[in-house]
Amino acid sequence: MRKFIERALAKLQKLDMEQIHALVSQIAMENEKLETVLDSMTDGVIVLDRSHRVTLYNKAAQRVLPVTTPEMEEKPVWTVVGDREVADFLRMSLENQDKVVDKEFTIDSGGRSRVFTISFMPLVQDGEIQGTILHVEDITERRSKEARLHRAESLASLTTLAAGIAHEIKNPLGSIGIHIQLIQKTLSGAGRLDRKTVNHYLEIITEEVDRLNRIVVDFLFAVRPMDARLEEQDVNKLLEDLIEFVHFELEEAGVNLETRLAEDLPLMEFDEKLLKQALLNIINNAVAAMADGGTLTVSTERRGEVVLVHVQDTGTGISDENMAKIFEPYFTTKDFGSGLGLTVVYKIVKEHGGEIAVKSKEGEGTTFTISLPIPVKELRLLGWKGKRA
């Protein structure tokens, strides 16, 4: 249709009034169709020019955004938004040419909270950026469903944790009970008291009490909300410090260390203590999987909008059967272990908005990959071509 209109306009001087009328009617019909499509969408769409003035919008955008006027054309978009936080965000992000993907806002509307996201996309015409498209999506119902699902998952996880800790506590409590009975039997026996035997029983009881304490501490760490304090830091520096910390332990275990840290990684936002704990848990598992020595490779890379941290070992690997269980609470293949190490790793990574993936083959080794999102301010829109309007 566009090509037809372009051809007709090129011959405009040769058209009579009837043909011009037909052309204008056709353009009006196409424009009305476009407006109908836009207004039928459930997501809001706002088109801005290079100066961030509104040139086109649909009804959904007016419903979702807290706009202050029914007429938004030719006005900077932040001047027609009634919520101060949203307006300030739009102005700063657009003027700084930030890349924005699903920035979430919560506002009060009619006595209830409403949640929506805003994303920016460049408006490209003839190979040049002519403005910005704002995509606005109301996710209130989705967030409500996710909250209900999260509560259900939390209840299921709590049930699994409760069953796991009950199983873990049962053994040391049983051992404590048996040795208390042995002490009582020794104390009630006739003749000379065997202090050596009683002290031996008491040492075992003390060890079991310490074991119970470790179980409870690990359990609390796994279930309590984490107070992650995110600060702008260098991932490579964190890894270098961690490698220095475990260097002698790796040497004693006969593990050769290789590092491949990518240069010029952007600064990331993370909690140094928590991320170190997660990586240390993975490294400890890797060393345990290389009982006869091997090679541990730690590497980083930037891939698109994320930074990847790889920890690869040449150990025994993980079977397909166990692969689906490794992040479950109290699952362990070790003779002595809480089974919460990787559960904690998973929780820490999620607390940072990241992802964790595992690749493994029995007899060849395992690779854990932590994916961390690059802060939004490090990601910029493509620069304008030509001069600003």
Residue 38 confidence (pLDDT)? 78
Strand, coil or helix: 295: strand
Q: Which helix (H) or strand (E) holds 54?
A: strand 54-57
Closest among 302, 327, 328, 301 to 312, alpha carbons compared: 301
Q: Determine the Cα–Cα distance for residues 359 and 130; give it in Å rounded to an integer.
A: 44
Q: Determine the Cα–Cα distance for residues 332 and 327; give it in Å rounded to an integer.
A: 9
Domain ranges of the chain: 41-138, 144-223, 231-378
- When the pLDDT of each residue in the chain is averaged and rounded to a whole number, the result is 83
pLDDT tens for residues 258-285? Answer: 999 998 899 999 999 999 989 998 998 8
Q: Determine the Cα–Cα distance for residues 41 and 274; give it in Å rounded to an integer.
A: 43
Residue 387 confidence (pLDDT)? 44
Contact in structure between 286 and 258 (CB atoms under 8 Å) = no
Residue 242 confidence (pLDDT)? 93
Closest among 143, 120, 122, 144 to 131, alpha carbons compared: 122
Residue 39 confidence (pLDDT)? 78
Q: Which residues of 2-18 are buried (b: 16+ CB within 10 A; e: fewer)?
A: eeeeeebeeeeeeeeee
Q: Which residue has the higher pLDDT, 48 or 335?
A: 48
DSSP string covering 263-306, please? TTPPPEEE-HHHHHHHHHHHHHHHHHT-TT-EEEEEEEEEETTE
pLDDT tens for residues 148-196? Answer: 887 777 677 667 667 767 777 888 898 899 989 988 888 877 556 678 8
- Tell me how crowded residue 306 is: count the other CB atoms within 10 A of its CB: 15
- Tell me how crowded residue 231 is: count the other CB atoms within 10 A of its CB: 11
Strand, coil or helix: 279: helix
Superfamily the domain 41-138 falls into: PAS domain (3.30.450.20)
Residue 383 confidence (pLDDT)? 41
Fold held by 231-378: Heat Shock Protein 90 (3.30.565)
Residue 275 confidence (pLDDT)? 93
State the CATH architecture for 144-223: Orthogonal Bundle (1.10)
Residue 339 confidence (pLDDT)? 58
Q: Determine the Cα–Cα distance for residues 116 and 102; give it in Å rounded to an integer.
A: 9
- Do you know the residue count of the chain? 389
Residues above pLDDT 70, as percent of the chain: 85
pLDDT tens for residues 60-84? Answer: 888 888 888 888 888 999 999 988 9
Tokens for 278?
């997660």
Residue 259 confidence (pLDDT)? 94
Banded model confidence at residue 97, pLDDT cuts 50, 70, 90:
confident
231-378: same fold as 144-223?
A: no
